[in-house]
Every structure is written in C-alpha cells, then in structure tokens.
Structure 1
Amino acid sequence: MGRVLPLLALRAFAEIGRHGSIKRAAATMGVTSGAVSQQLRLLEQRAGTSLFLRNRYGVELTNAGAKVHAGILRAFDQIEAGLDILEANNATQAITVCTEPSFAASWLVPRLGRFTSSHAHIEVRVEASSTLADLRRERVDVAVRHGLGDYPGLEAVQLMAPELIPVASPALLANGPEIREPADCLAFPLLQDANRSDWRLWLQAQGVDGDDRVERGPSFDSDFLLVRAAETGQGIALIRDIYAREEVAAGRLAIAIERPWPAEFAYYVVTLPGGADRPAVGQFVAWLLAEAQV
C-alpha cells in the first residue's frame, strides 16, 4: 500500500487492450497516439515485460498482459461508475455544452429557458467557440457540431439538417429589380460566407453557372453576422433557415425567392461514448432532439 500508481499508463493499457488499437485508444482518451505509446512504454519498463504484440490488425495482448488486463479494465470501469453515482447524488447537477457562436446565439440560447424551467436541478453552462472542443480534455459533456457526422471515438446523433434560403431586408428588395429567377439575385450585392462557396453552389444547383458576379461581395465568418448585414440592407445573404425564421416572421428580413436548398452539412449532438447514460446529459440531449422537431 502507499505506492504511487501510474494511473495514466494503466488507463492507456486498459484502453489499448479494450480496442486492440493504439489509435482508437488515443481517440477514447482524447490524446495523441504518440502519448499513448509513450505511456505504454513506461508501463512495460516498470513491469519488465512486453504487454502487447503487433499484428496485421493492430495489437494483441501478450500472455503477461492478458493475465491482468481484465482486472485493470474492470477497475477503471468501476471508478467511472462510482463517479457517475457521486454526480447523480448531487442535488444540483451541472453540464457543459459547447457549440459554435451562431448556433448558440440564434438557436440554443433563446430556447434554453424552456429546459431550465422544467429541469431546475440541472445547471447548463454554454460555451460558444468557433474551434472544436475536445470533450475529454476540456470536460465538455455535450457538443453541437456542424459537419458530416463523422466523429471517431464519439457518439453522434443528427439534430437537424438546415436548408439555405436567400434573404434580404424588405426595403432592399422593394427598391431593387424584381427577382423572378435565381439568376436575378446577381443584380444585388451578395453577402458571402467565409469560404465564398454557398452562393456559387446554390446557383449551380438552380442551373446558373459561369457568372463572375457570384464571387463578389463582403464575406462573414458566421451566420449571425450574415443575418445582421442582411437586416441593414447591405445585400442578399444565403442563410440557414433556422437562423432567419424569427427575422422573417418579424418582418426584418424577407425571402428573396422561394428556392430552399439542402446544405451538405448537418448539426449533430456529440457526446463521449456512454455519456448520454448520465441522467443530466441524457435529459439535455433528449430535450435538444425534441426542440429540433418544433
């Protein structure tokens, strides 16, 4: 008793054995493959024996490793289960949610009061960031990500797949040339996304291609900024419909032409494997999915 245990090295050993792969173990732990390999070497040096052998599919336990792996893996699972019990016993449970600023400001935060009013025992902390959060390293419980749904080592459920719609201030549309076809939008200033790709792709989908005017106009790195620029009459913007509904309903924006176009990416609710089994996280994820259907 009293020995200093190499817990990180033991965790690396447990996860490599669980997945049969250093790369997958690294994804589970939220670290690099090099870091996992280094911890394994330290553990093998301390034990004085090899714990894994490489094969064509990844790695497999040696006889020495196989003798202790099940017990060590079970110990870490029991520690995690114990932590879940401690957190569940807390009268007030806290969860951290991370998403991009546009989604937080335009969709999540305006609805969050409905969750807190019916789940008073759960405190929600919202982090808005344009960079992807590392769910393990940053202690994030739920992330809402915009992408293709491919998040190795994590669990992802599609939340919604917004459509792109062309919107502008009613005054700009009233004072400009009539828009009857998608190509007529090119007579107006175009407000561009950060990659300057949405307008080109939308027009191509409508059968309009090869017009140099599609590349002009100021660009903005978030839908929130595009909405504000469109509201002030600076041009026509292609916006995900979930960010423009309230502005259109209030008359601050108008749809230039009814030609919604499916965006390639969707929004996904992302958690650690088994993360939604924690009651507070599971309830929040269920609420998100229900809100997306409203």
Structure 2
Amino acid sequence: MPLRLPPLSSLRFFEAAGRHQSFKLAAAELNVTPSAVSHGIVGLEQALGVELFMREPRGLTLTPEGADYLSYIAEAFSLIAIGTQRLPDNRADRAIAVSCAPTVASRWLLPRLHGFCQRWPKLNVSVDTSQRQVGFPVDGFDFAIRMSRAPVAGAAWTRLFGERLVPVCSPAYRDTLADPAGNVDLRRATLIHVSPASEDWQAWLDGTGTAGIEPSGGLRFDTIQLAFEAAAAGLGVALGRRPLVDRDLAAGTLVEASPKAMAAETAYWLVSSEAADHRPSLLGFKRWLLKEAKCFGTAAGPGTTAG
C-alpha cells in the first residue's frame, strides 16, 4: 500500500511558515504571495485533519501538533537537500550561492570577486544580500557570511575577521562639534544607529568608559552602509567599523570624531553547507575566501581597545 504523503508544495509552505512563524516571511522566502502560503497550509490542515497553526491577532504560533510535525518535516527536507548536494554536479552554469549582508558584500566581497573569477573563469557566483535567515541546507545556499559573537550550532563556522568600533563623521560635521582648540564634543552630536547591530553606541560608551552621552536618540538605519552614507552626508556621527570603513577614512569622506576605539565582541564568520568540503568548486571557493580574509585581517591589524 503506498505511503500517505501530503502535497510537497504544501509541506514546503508549512516548513517555511513554521520556521519563520509568519506567512508573510515564508512567502517572501519562497517568492509567492502570503495568500498562497495561507491557502496551501489550510489545504494541508484539511488533508491531515489537524490544526497546525493558531492564528491570533498578535501573530502566528504553532499548535503542539504543528510543532511536533514541523520537526519531522524540517528533518525530511534537510535530508533531501543534503542528498541532493552530495550528488555530483557537472553543470557548467551551477552557481556558487552565497548569502551575505549588504555592507560586507559591497565593501569586502565584491572588490575581491574579480580575483576569484580570473582564477576560476568557468565558475559562477550568486550573491544574495536580502539578510533573511538562512537555513542550511534547505535554502540552497552553499555559504553565508554572518556577524556573530560565536559559532552557532547546525553548520560549519569559520572566523573571517573582527572589527574595531570608532566614531566617524564628515569633516564639516566634525568642525561643528569642535571648540577653538579642536576638541570634539560628542554630547552635541546626532548619533547614527544601525538598528540590527548587536553592538552599537551603548557598547562603545561602555567599552571606552565614555560618560555624559545619551545613546538613545538620533537617526536609525537598517544597514551599516546607510549609516556610513548618512555620516558622510553630514547628518551626524556613526560608529565606524574598521576595517570596513577604512576606505572612507583614507578618502577623507569620513574622519574620526574621537580617538577612542574598541574591539567589537562580534566578528564576521563564514558559514558553510555540508557539501562545501565535498565539491571541488565549493572547496576552492572556501579556501580562496579564507585566504582573502586572512590577508585582510593581517593588513587591518589586531582589534585592540584604545583609550
């Protein structure tokens, strides 16, 4: 007697919605409408005769039956993805898929890709900067570059490089904060924040022992890149993240608003899929990326705290 299996598309909707606890986020990940996800899951619930989600005004939560079912479905999709990744893939157009935050992609990865393409001209690279949560191996990515304090269980993590935090602004804006002797008073500055950053102004104030500055006000942006651009436009003072901000400091579009710098607790990490060490193309890309990071970190110098 054949196994009783629900439609694969409905299971995919359920796995993504259960992982995100959101029809909207699942739809964005799968490139469909939230309505399609909702209808697919309703159909799945009807086919199974079980309610998988509790739909409440405050959001979506899994029922106990749904949470139990999700553990099996997630494992099943992972096994399918792992088995698929382990198959030999000789397609010339098979791209190496990388998920990377926008600022690191534009300021670190992109300037180096030319060297990789020259060395391996037949290998294609696909870079995704959507910043959505990546699930290995289900989402189809080979690598992700993430900022974190430490490795997270479930994938292979390799440290790329760390950061040093130092306040930066435009030369003209610094002049508005300086007294006749050239001393900058950050108490008068508009602080520019990066909303998703785990280490922001409060971390810098605590780490450098700086008092008298209220860190809660100011402007907020969702990427480091936008914060740097806002600072360069004279809108306030951002926390520069060296060495990512070094090119702006060298060009003079940004200047240090304070000599105090501190080593960030977070670092950038390369997260690899299970297949990364089994396919020659992926292993070559990984080794190249780690070599570039080592050179970059050596050139940037150690991230020590300065008073």
1:168 offset after TM fit, Å? 0.6
1:35 offset after TM fit, Å? 3.7
Identity of aligned residues (%): 29
Structure 2 equivalent of residue 201 of structure 1: 203
Structure 1 pair 165–212 and aligned structure 2 pair: CA distance change class (3 A): closer
Count of residues in Structure 1 that have an aligned counterpart in Structure 2? 229
CA distance in 2, matches of 1:208, 1:284: 42
Q: Runs (4+) of structure 1 moved beyond 3 Å?
A: 3-7, 32-40, 76-81, 89-93, 178-181
CA distance in 2, matches of 1:132, 1:39: 15
Structure with max Cα Rg? 1
SS of corresponding position for 1:237: strand
Structure 1 equivalent of residue 131 of structure 2: 130
SS of corresponding position for 1:103: helix
Structure 1 equivalent of residue 42 of structure 2: none
The one-letter amino acid of 1:213's match is E
CA distance in 1, matches of 2:257, 2:84: 57
Structure 2 equivalent of residue 262 of structure 1: 263
Q: Encode CA deviations 1:21-40: one digit per residue, 9 max, x unaligned.
A: xxxxxxxxxxx763454799
Q: Encode CA deviations 1:80-114: one digit per residue, 9 max, x unaligned.
A: 65x13xx2x44454210001122212221222112
CA distance in 2, matches of 1:175, 1:125: 44
Structure 2 equivalent of residue 34 of structure 1: 69
1:5 offset after TM fit, Å? 8.4
Structure 2 equivalent of residue 139 of structure 1: 140
CA distance in 2, matches of 1:38, 1:111: 39
Unaligned segments of structure 1, at least 5 residues: 8-31, 43-72
CA distance in 1, matches of 2:83, 2:169: 56
CA distance in 1, matches of 2:218, 2:204: 16
The one-letter amino acid of 2:117's match is T
1:272 offset after TM fit, Å? 1.9
Q: Is the 8 A contact 1:153 1:273 kept in 2?
A: no
Q: Encode CA deviations 1:192-222: one digit per residue, 9 max, x unaligned.
A: 221686112211222224x363222111111
Structure 2 equivalent of residue 106 of structure 1: 107
The one-letter amino acid of 2:190's match is P
Structure 2 equivalent of residue 10 of structure 1: none
* Greater alpha carbon shift after TM alignment, 128-137 vs 215-224: 128-137
Structure 1 pair 80–215 and aligned structure 2 pair: CA distance change class (3 A): closer
Q: Is the 8 A contact 1:223 1:243 kept in 2?
A: no
Q: CA RMSD in A?
A: 3.2
CA distance in 1, matches of 2:237, 2:122: 44
Q: Is the 8 A contact 2:159 2:267 kept in 1?
A: yes
CA distance in 1, matches of 2:132, 2:74: 28
1:1-294 residue pairs with structure 2 within 5 A? 34-37=69-72, 81=86, 83-84=87-88, 87=89, 89-91=90-92, 93-178=94-179, 180=183, 184-194=185-195, 198-209=200-211, 211=212, 213-292=214-293, 293-294=295-296
SS of corresponding position for 1:263: strand
SS of corresponding position for 2:244: helix
TM-score (norm 2): 0.65
Q: Is the 8 A contact 1:107 1:242 kept in 2?
A: no
1:78 offset after TM fit, Å? 8.6
CA distance in 2, matches of 1:262, 1:34: 44
Structure 1 pair 38–266 and aligned structure 2 pair: CA distance change class (3 A): closer
The one-letter amino acid of 2:173's match is L
1:239 offset after TM fit, Å? 2.2
Q: Encode CA deviations 1:258-294: one digit per residue, 9 max, x unaligned.
A: 2221112111101123523311111111122122223
Structure 1 pair 172–204 and aligned structure 2 pair: CA distance change class (3 A): same
